[in-house]
Amino acid sequence: MDSVAFCIDFDENTRSDMRRTRRKVRDNVVNVFELPDEVFVKQFRLNKLAFKYVLELLIQKLPPVRRSCSITPELKLEACLRFLAEGGYQNGTGQDFNIGMAQSTVSVVLSDVLNILEATLCPRWITLAMTDNEKLEAKRYFFEKTRIPGIVMCVDGTHIKILKPAAGNAHLYYNRKGYYSVNAMIVRTK
C-alpha to C-alpha distance for 62 and 65, rounded to whole angstroms: 8
Least confident among 68-77, 82-91, 174-183 = 82-91
Q: Please, which residues bridge with residue 155 across strands?
A: 185
**Chain centroid to CA 150:** 30
Write 55-59 long-range contacts (CB < 8 A, 24+). Answer: 57/116, 57/117, 57/120, 57/121, 58/113, 58/116, 58/117
The per-residue pLDDT for range 120-153, each reduced to its tens digit, is 998 888 777 889 999 999 999 989 988 989 888 8
Least confident among 18-22, 50-54, 171-175 = 18-22
Mean pLDDT of the chain: 78
Phi/psi of residue 94, each to 5°?
Answer: -65, -25
C-alpha to C-alpha distance for 62 and 6, rounded to whole angstroms: 40
Domain boundaries, the chain: 2-125, 132-188
pLDDT in the model for residue 6: 46
Residues 154-175 as b or e (16 or more Cβ within 10 Å = b): beeeeeeeeeeeeeeeeeebee
pTM for the structure as a whole: 0.58
C-alpha to C-alpha distance for 180 and 160, rounded to whole angstroms: 8
Alpha-carbon dihedral 145, 150, 155, 158, rounded to 10 degrees: -90
Confidence of residue 50 (pLDDT cuts 50, 70, 90): very high
C-alpha to C-alpha distance for 100 and 58, rounded to whole angstroms: 20
